[in-house]
Amino acid sequence: MKAFSTTLLKWYDKNKRTLPWRDIGDPYKIWLSEIILQQTRVSQGTDYYLKFVRRFPSPLSLAQASEDEVLKLWQGLGYYSRARNLHAAAKSMNGKFPTTYEGVRALKGVGDYTAAAICSMAYQMPYAVVDGNVFRVLSRVFGIETPIDTVPGKKKFTQKAQDLLDKKRPGDFNQAMMDFGAMVCTPQTPQCLLCPLAKKCYAFQNNRVNGLPVKTQKTKISTRYFHYIYVKQGKYTWLRKRGAGDVWQHLYELPLLETAVETVDFSSVKWLKNKKPHLICKPIKHVLSHRVIFADLYQIILPPSIKLPVPYFRISVSDLSQYAVSRLMQKLLEKVNH
């Protein structure tokens, strides 16, 4: 185990990525980076991190912002619950980031992995991180066949990571695990011939690289059909804010009709006054973690006297860019001739 840690840290010292949240010791900025990098590649997340730090340089500045502004700045990153949790957590800090593991772990949207990452990097506390990279590296090097999506598996990997953790450099060790999994021991085509651990790697020596880690459950995917309508009323159009409990919570969107099948019948939409919208965009396939959405876009011109029902509200077309929307909604709006 000591040889593993020593080799890993030696590799990290020579090959670590230069990232703006590294070697700064600021728990607030490290927290921002960790939340942004959940479900997001470093290459994409870095620009968002820099934007957030510029706009919200402290927990207090983030807490004082409106949710709409936070979501607008987050636009395009996806998994918007991260942004809402980020905002809620900042409000709970009273202007000061927590200094204990328990305090960090209690923040909304912070789990065991994120708490361990923040506390090890900012405070040098001896908590090991366990994520996809860690599962992959440990399962391959030590030949752990226990499925990673089971309770015994998570317990085993967590204990293994904790046992391996270099207590003198916990932050560097955790970052080394993440970098090594992202740069060498990758999910596809890992760099085994360049790996400093190859000689002692169970998976490499036993031709099990593609078989580890083991996962038992497959994600169930559902399909949904969204039909959006862009309403033209001179210089105005209509939006609504999505409610809780579904995708894109609290983001804005055009009038929507969802169906169980691909086809749509607009006759049930009373405010259309039996007028048939014109199709301007064929279905776009939008893939999320647990669902696939097929969305098309229609357009209709209505006289100013017609009002859409609540929760829709009328806005100036020139103000559209001020509202936080999903990546899919952004794509559809780009196809509209305002």
**Strands 313-316 vs 236-241: parallel, antiparallel or unpaired:** antiparallel
Segment 100-113 mean pLDDT: 97
Distance of CA 149 to the CA centre of its chain: 19
Rounded Cα distance between 187 and 192, Å, is 12
Full DSSP string of 160-181:
HHHHH--TTSHHHHHHHHHHHH
Full DSSP string of 89-158:
HHHHTTTS---SHHHHHTSTT--HHHHHHHHHHHH-------SHHHHHHHHHHHT--S-TTSHHHHHHHH
Rounded Cα distance between 145 and 164, Å, is 18
pLDDT at 125 over 90: yes
- What values do phi and psi take at 12, rounded to 5? -60, -45
Segment 62-73 mean pLDDT: 97
- At 48, the pLDDT band (50, 70, 90 cuts) reads very high
| Contact between residue 51 and residue 44 where contact means Cβ atoms under 8 Å apart | no
Quote the pLDDT of residue 285: 96
pLDDT in tens, 286-320: 998 889 999 999 999 999 999 999 999 999 999 99
The per-residue b/e assignment along 3-26, b for 16 or more CB within 10 angstroms, e otherwise, is ebbebbbebbeeebeebebeeeee
Percentages of the chain per state (helix, strand, coil), in multiples of 5: 45, 15, 40
Global confidence as pTM: 0.87
Architecture of the domain whose range is 222-333? Alpha-Beta Complex (3.90)
Segment 161-189 mean pLDDT: 96
CATH class assigned to 2-211:
mainly alpha
pLDDT in tens, 30-39: 999 999 999 8
Q: Where in the chain is the domain with CATH 3.90.79.10?
A: 222-333
Quote the pLDDT of residue 338: 64
pLDDT at 1 over 90: no
Quote the pLDDT of residue 2: 82
In this structure, what token pair is assigned to residue 88? 């809620």
| Contact between residue 228 and residue 255 where contact means Cβ atoms under 8 Å apart | yes
For the chain, the average pLDDT equals 95
Rounded Cα distance between 305 and 303, Å, is 5
Rounded Cα distance between 77 and 70, Å, is 12
Rounded Cα distance between 178 and 37, Å, is 12
Residues listed for the chain? 338
Nearest to 112 by CA among 134, 93, 94: 134
Quote the pLDDT of residue 245: 87
pLDDT at 337 over 90: no
Distance of CA 151 to the CA centre of its chain: 23
pLDDT at 112 over 70: yes
| Contact between residue 212 and residue 190 where contact means Cβ atoms under 8 Å apart | no
Rounded Cα distance between 152 and 173, Å, is 24
Point out the least confidently predicted range of 44-53, 113-122, 123-132, 215-224.
Answer: 215-224
| Residue that is written with structure tokens 């949240």 in the block | 21
The per-residue b/e assignment along 289-302, b for 16 or more CB within 10 angstroms, e otherwise, is eeeebbbbbbbbeb
Q: Where in the chain is the domain with CATH 1.10.340.30?
A: 2-211
pLDDT in tens, 224-275: 999 999 999 999 999 999 998 899 999 999 999 999 999 999 999 999 988 9
Amino acid present at 132: G
Given 34, 67, 258, 262, the catalytic residue: 34
Q: Is 145 a catalytic residue?
A: no
Amino acid present at 213: P
| Residue that is written with structure tokens 């360049």 in the block | 194
Q: How many other CB atoms are found less than 10 A from the CB of residue 69?
A: 16
- What values do phi and psi take at 246, rounded to 5? -150, 180
